[in-house]
Structure 1
């Protein structure tokens, strides 16, 4: 197995184990064993379980951001841009249930350091802050503190994805799809 293959095997195994067993119940030894690598190989790639968790969190957030921006090119109309971002984000969650389960468990967890969460929100998902800021400048979105608005958006996303993953047929229903965006949008409107 090549070095990059080993690293990916560690990440894939850690993802599955963190979701099924929890962060604290998952040992690095169990990750290495199930990934088919030596303990030393795991520690060569990640100095600690916390570092592994942070890397996994940021990598998956980047994957989500890439999917959103690839499928939701801005058109310049704020509400339509927001709707396209929303739909792309929920579609990604439905297509990646294990990764979304990881977010459901760890997005609000102390297992992820605050600075890592900030890096994800302000860096990787910075386009959301830019959209909110633009909407506030246009007077279309409430002028609440940006960090609070972003946390509200994140909570709405987690709630909606949980609903649609539990009820996958509802995402194919335009009424539910539109309602989910309307709830999201109306929570931010001025």
Structure 2
């Protein structure tokens, strides 16, 4: 990625979170990025392509962070807990990016992702849940249902923690307590 592309993506990210996807004109993105509209459209053919490209890049960044912060664990429960904690701490440290992911997932744009991209993003999580079911740790319910429960709890906890402006110690305690409640629910 060249410098112009990075500037465009950062500008678009902030404007999309601030004004919404439909409330952000590409001309505004180009203007605030100090590039011509033509330059923007040479890099991203459409606004939709820009919106989706940012989402995929952020999901990849988050996935790498989660992997790096959970690879030292071997027990299924510990891995799930580390992944949830890592996603929350990444979100707290990258508020705009996390909000963008939430915004995208609750928008019609989610329908534009091809199934391979979606599968690539969630397969590791689904496999881990299946492992927990196979080990008798997690209730034998549909895997996508359990994944939805975990995701909803994670996003809800994130919203709670940013609204309360918790200290690092309080964040850790809240994540620990919430994970134990979640674990009891799915086991």
* TM-score (normalised: structure 2): 0.90
Query: For 2:147 and 2:126, how far apart are their aligned partners in 1?
Result: 7
Provide Cα deviations, 1:18-76, integer angstroms capped at 9, x if missing partner: 10000001111111111111111111111111111111111001100111111111422
Query: For 1:115 and 1:143, how far apart are their aligned partners in 2?
Result: 29
Q: Does 1:155 align with 2:152?
A: yes
Provide Cα deviations, 1:83-130, integer angstroms capped at 9, x if missing partner: 11111111101110111121232222213325358724x213432112
Q: Any gaps of 5 or more consecutive residues in structure 1?
A: none
Q: Does 1:175 align with 2:173?
A: yes
For residue 185 of structure 1, report the CA deviation from its aligned partner: 2.1
SS in 1 for 2:109: coil
SS in 1 for 2:113: helix
For residue 80 of structure 1, report the CA deviation from its aligned partner: 1.0
Aligned residues: 186
Q: 1:67 to 1:61 in 2, by over 3 A?
A: same
Partner of 1:18: 16
Of the three residues 39, 42, 46, the one matched with 1:41 is 39
Provide Cα deviations, 1:126-184, integer angstroms capped at 9, x if missing partner: 32112101001112112222222222222111111111122232552243221121233
SS in 1 for 2:136: coil
Partner of 1:55: 53
Larger CA deviation: 85-94 vs 165-174 = 165-174
Q: Any gaps of 5 or more consecutive residues in structure 2?
A: none
Q: 1:172 to 1:118 in 2, by over 3 A?
A: farther
* TM-score (normalised: structure 1): 0.89
Q: 1:126 to 1:116 in 2, by over 3 A?
A: same
Partner of 2:62: 64
Of the three residues 95, 100, 103, the one matched with 2:101 is 103
Q: 1:145 to 1:170 in 2, by over 3 A?
A: farther
The alignment yields a C-alpha RMSD, in angstroms, of: 1.9
Q: 1:146 to 1:93 in 2, by over 3 A?
A: same
